[in-house]
Amino acid sequence: MIFLHKKSPTPIQHWDALRHGGPNNLDLGIKGKFLVLWNVDIVVREGAWHYIFEFDVRDSLAVSALAQMTGKTTGYPNDINWKHWLGTDVALITSDVRQAILSMPAAEAHTEAVITDVREVPNAFPIPGRGPHNAFQIELPERFLLCL
């Protein structure tokens, strides 16, 4: 497996490329004839989208014998030009760099997530012992589970 990092100012539509293959034409010194996109990690930091693409480097697009026994397919589609799809601003990174990007603390991530709306649950039942008609307000157990 190899990891490629790409920074983008806008989101990239990557779903159609998952589990698809194409020739290894990236000129990054990667040995192997084909690349299959296996996984994508996405992090939004400082107003930019950081994509970490996980590729399986292969000499063939044929799936394993075990996968062929399921009868769904004999190989991955060979329909993506990775050099054109990824562009020129992609960088090969190590698994340590990938892990450092993904495990950056939230305080350093500067996320801009905002809660936009809070609504009351319709037809909700009160927590037992906490209703307005209960004169005696019991303390809830430490391991109280409320399921909606």
Domain spans, the chain: 2-109
Q: What is the mean pLDDT of residues 45-63?
A: 88
pLDDT at 114 over 90: no
Q: What is the mean pLDDT of the chain?
A: 79
pLDDT at 20 over 90: yes
The pTM assigned to this predicted structure is 0.67
The C-alpha atoms of residue 109 and residue 6 are separated, in whole angstroms, by 17
Out of 51-55, 56-60, 70-74, 109-113, pick the least confident: 109-113
Q: Which residues lie across from 93 on neighbouring strands?
A: 3
Q: What is the pLDDT of residue 116?
A: 55
